[in-house]
């Protein structure tokens, strides 16, 4: 398996519950988004470049395998699926420890796009800096 990164760890509280008494899926989705963004920033920074502003553009293949309970300590593990020119896709595994066993409760793929503010508004930008060109169109060395 690819390098996993523990992007977020938290304990679930009563305020996070739904009417059935388990943790509301929207809380998990919010934390998956945060963990994915933290993991994406880590993947970019470990390649030695400045981390651009990243925005969430898609949350794909979200699967809720098991309910999450009040008091569960939840770990959000990320790993890189793909880095494109302007986007990065992270997989997030959500796990809890119960009775000495690690249980995968949820997983999702999250896509982020690097953006910059311009006079015309926000626009996608390359994640990695582009080499400078000289006047002849050749890449400067």
CATH of the domain at 47: 3.10.129.10
Three-state SS for 3? coil
- Cα 49 off chain centre by: 18
Residue 24 lies in a domain: yes
**Domain extent for 36:** 5-124
Higher pLDDT, 134 or 88: 88
User: pLDDT, tens digit, for every residue of 91-101?
Assistant: 999 999 999 99
Name the percent of the chain lying above pLDDT 90.
Answer: 84
What pLDDT does 74 receive?
98
133 domain residue, yes or no: no
Is 136 part of any domain? no
Q: Identify whether 139 is part of a domain.
A: no
Nearest to 7 by CA among 116, 108, 128, 125: 108
User: What percentage of the chain exceeds 70 in pLDDT?
Assistant: 91
pTM above 0.85, yes or no: yes
- Do the domain assignments include residue 114? yes
H/E run at residue 114:
strand 101-118
Distance of CA 39 to the CA centre of its chain: 5
Q: Nearest-CA neighbor of 80 among 45, 49, 55, 48?
A: 45
pLDDT digits (tens, 9 = 90+) for 34-82: 999 999 999 999 999 999 999 999 999 999 999 999 999 999 999 999 9
| Of 91, 53, 51, 98, nearest in space to 74 by CA | 98
Domain for residue 56, yes or no?
A: yes
Q: How sure is the predictor about 129, in pLDDT bands with cuts at 50, 70 and 90? A: confident
Please indicate, yes or no, if residue 118 is contained in any of the structural domains.
yes
Number of domain units in the chain: 1
Question: Is 134 among the domain residues?
Answer: no
The per-residue DSSP string of 31-90 comes to HHHHHHHHHHHHHHHTTTSPPPEEEEEEEEEEEE-S---TT-EEEEEEEEEEE-SSEEEE
If we measure between CA atoms, which residue out of 47, 46, 52 comes closest to residue 127? 52
């Amino acid at each position: 398996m690819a390098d996993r990164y523990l992007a977020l760890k938290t304990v679930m509280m009563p305020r996070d519950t739904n009417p059935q008494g388990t943790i509301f899926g929207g809380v998990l989705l919010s934390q998956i988004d945060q963990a994915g963004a933290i993991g994406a920033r880590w993947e970019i920074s470990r390649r030695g470049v400045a981390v651009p502003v990243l925005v969430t553009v898609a949350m794909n293949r979200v699967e809720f395998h098991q309910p999450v309970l009040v008091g569960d300590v939840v770990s959000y593990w990320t790993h890189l699926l793909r880095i494109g020119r302007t986007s990065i896709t992270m997989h997030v595994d959500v796990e809890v420890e119960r009775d000495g066993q690690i249980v995968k409760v949820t997983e999702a793929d999250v896509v982020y796009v690097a953006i910059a503010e311009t006079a015309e508004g926000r626009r996608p930008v390359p994640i990695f800096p582009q080499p400078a060109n000289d006047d002849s169109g050749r890449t400067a060395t």
